[in-house]
Amino acid sequence: MERTWRWFGPNDPITLAHIREAGATGIVTALHQIPGGTAWDDAAIAERKAAIEAEGLRWSVVESIPVSNAIKARTDQWRHDVDAWTETLRALGRAGIDTVCYNFMPIVDWTRTDLAWPLRSGLALRFDIVDFAAYDVFVLERDGADADYQPGVLADADERFRAMTPERKEELERIILAGLPGSDFAYDRAKFSDLLKVYDRMGRDELLQSLTEFLNEVVPVAEESGIRLAIHPDDPPIPLFGLPRIVSTEPDAAAVLDAYDGRSNGLTFCVGSYGSRADNDLPDMVRAFAPRINFLHFRNVTIEAPGVFHECEHLEGGADMVALIAIVLDEEARRRDRGRPDSRIPMRPDHGHLLAADPVRNANPGYSYVGRLKGLAELNGIIHALTAIHQ
């Protein structure tokens, strides 16, 4: 596996030199300064690539080219934004960058309700459906929101909302609507409510149809450009704000791959995202989809209750990371035997804890330096041990 690291560009307080010292060889990044619906030009790509290579690293994965709401909701701007996406793919192909991660979550990207949940192992990210419902129903006051939650969750949300301080309500709104790292949005309440109307009456079938139409446009361009696409699963893998989510389960992932049957249409297998649902059998999923896994996010979660989970240490939590890595190593061996050029799958440690000893205190939530360095070291240990056993 190729050891990679997510870097948020020149403004990231964690520098490329830090990353090299952590033991990564590949960089996962994007041109975050360019908004969705705008094509990336060759010069901007070349500038970022040169900065990465100057530190002896490789730009291994683009995460992400934003998929606009116009594409997902199939509005009048669809054609323009799809063309911008394919232009970007062609430019990345010319630059020799071969893997692109993206997601198809409507309006909100990955979502949490706490960014610094205290654990013995440091400060962690956490999602609590009760807090989320309290915001959705009683702060945002979304029309029909109360019908989207189980009665027990709704009752708990009402009680929690009544106990919330004004500061906590503002914090929740900031976390949920202002956007987490890598998200292509930063909404206020009015703008968010307007966007909800764009998705009015869109169900799972309609969103899957939008994704299918998108794939039919972009996968042929990816194939021509030598690029492997890798869709990231929903995070958390449940509907939010009454909006459908269509990359949450094993059948969902199978449907995405069936929508365009080509090797360039592949998956980002995020262990933490799929692992946030107890009904996802992770080893079975990795085995089933191994030939179409183009990128790996290794992180682990502990499910506290249905709809409630926190990020744990990379080798703790509900996922058997040793078993999953063993399956991936077997897939890499099969690819080598078949002469596939993508036999070395890029992986990155994801969502490390913020540790007391971390000198970089202002890193993006979930993207601490020492926490991810620790995770990368642990994952490297597993990879080396399993490789030695099978030699």
The catalytic site residues sit at 232, 270, 297, 350-351, 367
Where residue 304 falls (left for φ over 0; alpha for ψ -120 to 50; beta otherwise) is: alpha
Report the sign of the C-alpha dihedral through residues 108, 113, 119, 123, in that order: positive
Q: Is 84 exposed, middle or buried (0-12, 13-18, 19+ CB in 10 A)?
A: buried
Per the DSSP assignment, residues forming a β-bridge with 117 are 124
Could you tell me which of 278, 189, 191 has the C-alpha nearest to residue 236?
Answer: 278
Tokens 């958390």 sit on residue: 236
88, two tokens: 């970007």
Q: Kindly report the number of other CB atoms within 10 A of residue 43's CB atom.
A: 9
Q: 172 vs 135, 238, 313, CA distance in Å? A: 7, 18, 24
What is the residue type of 152? G
> In whole angstroms, what is the distance from residue 131 CA to residue 140 CA?
12
Query: Are the beta carbons of 303 and 237 closer than 8 angstroms?
Result: no
> In whole angstroms, what is the distance from residue 146 CA to residue 136 CA?
9
Q: Is 104 exposed, middle or buried (0-12, 13-18, 19+ CB in 10 A)?
A: buried
Query: Are the beta carbons of 361 and 345 closer than 8 angstroms?
Result: no
DSSP string across 263-323: TTEEEEEEHHHHHTSTT--HHHHHHHHGGGEEEEEE-EEEEEETTEEEEE-TTSSSS-HHH
> In whole angstroms, what is the distance from residue 107 CA to residue 322 CA?
35
